[in-house]
């Protein structure tokens, strides 16, 4: 993706974030993972309750005993919703770098969280083609 910044003379490059295919994969994987975890949760809880060294045996047995018909479908549905909510959070909270000729902007949650000038940081040194910060304070 290339965006054009009217303030700078050269086009800005956008790095990071998720494109449409990436968003679809993240939503699908987290959603299916949550639904799968919701489906196997009773089996895992019953297995863990049988181990003598696992703490909280009583609450685990209580969680494993819920086997009504609506919970057979309710747990995977709840896991799906929680997985999708976590996926939306991951997509929304992923940082996006806008690299311009003179500066680098970090966008997170739609807002610019930090801006740095390229190549003018006195706390950094060149190492081959990369510029490395000499201290953690010079990152910000």
pTM for this one? 0.63
Q: Which tokens in the block code for residue 88?
A: 């939306």
Per-residue pLDDT tens digits for 72-123: 888 899 999 999 999 999 988 888 887 777 777 777 777 776 666 655 555 5
Mean of per-residue pLDDT scores for the chain: 77
Q: Which tokens in the block code for residue 115?
A: 């801006």
Give CA–CA dist 117/136, Å, rounded.
16
A 10 A CB-CB count for 118 gives 12
Angle subtended by helix axes 57-64 and 20-50, to nearest 10 = 120
Q: Which tokens in the block code for residue 44?
A: 């895992």
Per-residue pLDDT tens digits for 33-72: 999 999 998 888 888 888 889 888 888 888 777 777 887 8
pLDDT band at 28 (very low <50, low <70, confident <90, very high): very high
Backbone φ and ψ for 47, nearest 5 degrees, come out as -65, -45
**pLDDT given for residue 62 in this prediction:** 81
**pLDDT given for residue 80 in this prediction:** 96
Give CA–CA dist 28/26, Å, rounded.
5
Per-residue pLDDT tens digits for 10-22: 677 777 778 889 9
Give CA–CA dist 3/10, Å, rounded.
10
């Amino acid at each position: 993706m290339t965006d054009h910044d009217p303030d700078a003379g050269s086009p800005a490059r956008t790095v990071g974030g998720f494109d449409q295919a990436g968003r679809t994969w993240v939503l699908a994987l987290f959603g299916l993972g949550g639904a799968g975890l919701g489906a196997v949760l009773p089996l895992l809880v019953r297995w863990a309750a049988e181990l003598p060294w696992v703490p909280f045996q009583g609450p685990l047995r209580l969680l494993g005993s819920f086997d009504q018909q609506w919970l057979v479908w309710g747990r995977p549905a709840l896991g799906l919703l929680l997985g999708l909510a976590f996926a939306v959070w991951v997509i929304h909270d992923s940082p996006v770098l806008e690299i311009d000729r003179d500066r680098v902007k970090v966008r997170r949650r739609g807002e610019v969280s930090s801006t740095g000038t390229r190549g003018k940081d006195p706390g950094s040194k060149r190492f081959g083609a990369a510029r490395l910060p000499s201290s953690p304070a010079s990152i910000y």
